[in-house]
Amino acid sequence: MAASDRCCVRWTIVWRAAWVAAVYILSFSNLAVATGSAGKLAAAETTKGLSITRQPYGKMPDGTPVELYTLTNSHGLKAEVINYGAMLIGLHAPDQHGNTANITLHLDNLEQYLAGHPLFGCIVGRYANRIANARFVIDGQQYELAANSGRNHIHGGKMGFHRYVWKAEAVEQADRVGVRLSHTSPDGDEGYPGKLDVTKTYWLTQGNELQMEYVAVTDKPTHVNLTNHAYWNLAGAGSGDVLAHELMINADYYLPVDAGKIPQGKPAPVKDTPMDFTTPHTIGSRIAQVPGGYDHCYVLNKKRGEKLTLCARVAEPTSGRVMEVWTTEPGVQLYTANGMRVKRPDGSLRYGNHGGLCLECQHFPDSPNRPDFPSTLLRPGQKYYQLTIHKFSVK
């Protein structure tokens, strides 16, 4: 064989080897993102400027590992999710000057979360909000739930969904990246009938949207009402209270409640009351007229056949950050962290009174006992589905 031919063969072999190696590396990277294989994942950049990483976050007392998933886009938006409680522990967003801050209330590590917290960023279930007298009737049979709010039931009971380590995997689509979390609640869990399989997926898009998608199925009739309990402070977590935030809620009615926060009577109009956010007002402008502060469910204005509805818009004047919330749910619970006192390990105050606001998209409180409310009953063969979107911008 001539020297030139031998040289050509060698270059062909080298080129083929390099090509095979590149394909193998790319395939392995994509497989790691799709399956959530063990270990720390390097960023898997997509053609849309999106990426996802995974790394250890700590271990539960029984040794179960907890993982942190980080979703980013090319506009500086970053979401951080751990699979303990399917919890959003970070949403980092730029302000009008390009300075980034974490705008959801959070703690520093897993040990602090395990020590207790007011549901920062958690999924809440099986039933978000309250059920009167911790009981309901399905098809003539009464079910007794855990009473963990006086005589009432709240946020899934003593061992709600926020206290479990969820299975997690990284997922990717052409226009978004995310983390899919799944949990199975057994028949009889906290008194609820039926085995319930739940999936929640956090998606981050290049359009600066954090999408929260929920799916659940059951093998017996049961009630389901899921939400996320993130506390937002658009000036930055720990920067003070949210009383100067301007809020609009797309709701002409709200649900009056008794001392136990159980709805009483029919929805009431917000017009000419301190509950009215149909036009933007600062949260602090009328909060003194609301005994105890805002902790009420609003009935969203939904057109017939409309699925995804504008729920609320929040703007923070010093940073210029704006958050819009869209949802498929009929209601939203406004909670202004009334009386909050969350301390650091050294005893100093981390988050004080009104240090954040919650906009918990959900069905109405006590719907299992209120046939006049939209039903939360899920039967075998049906699928519970919810989509809630948080869209971030600056002005």
Per-residue pLDDT tens digits for 65-91: 999 999 999 999 999 999 999 999 999
Q: Is 70 exceeded by the pLDDT of residue 5?
A: no
Active-site residue flag, 360: yes
pLDDT at residue 48 in the model: 75
Per-residue pLDDT tens digits for 222-253: 999 999 999 999 999 999 999 999 999 999 99
User: What are the CA-CA distances from residue 99 to residues 102, 235, 351 (Å)?
Assistant: 10, 11, 21
- Residue in 190, 246, 360, 363 annotated catalytic: 360
pLDDT tier, 102 (very low <50, low <70, confident <90, very high otherwise): very high
pLDDT tier, 305 (very low <50, low <70, confident <90, very high otherwise): confident
pLDDT tier, 27 (very low <50, low <70, confident <90, very high otherwise): very low
Candidates 106, 122, 87, 161; CA nearest to 360 is 122
- Residue in 229, 245, 296, 363 annotated catalytic: 229
Q: What is the CATH architecture assignment of 51-394?
A: Distorted Sandwich (2.70)
Q: Is 70 exceeded by the pLDDT of residue 8?
A: no
Instruction: Give CA 362 to chain center in angstroms.
Output: 12
Q: 24: exposed, middle or buried (C-beta count within 10 Å: 0-12, 13-18, 19+)? A: exposed
Which pair of tokens denotes residue 208?
């600066």
In sequence order, the 6+-apart residues with CB closer than 8 A to the CB of 228 are: 88, 121, 122, 123, 124, 212, 360, 361, 388
Active-site residue flag, 75: no
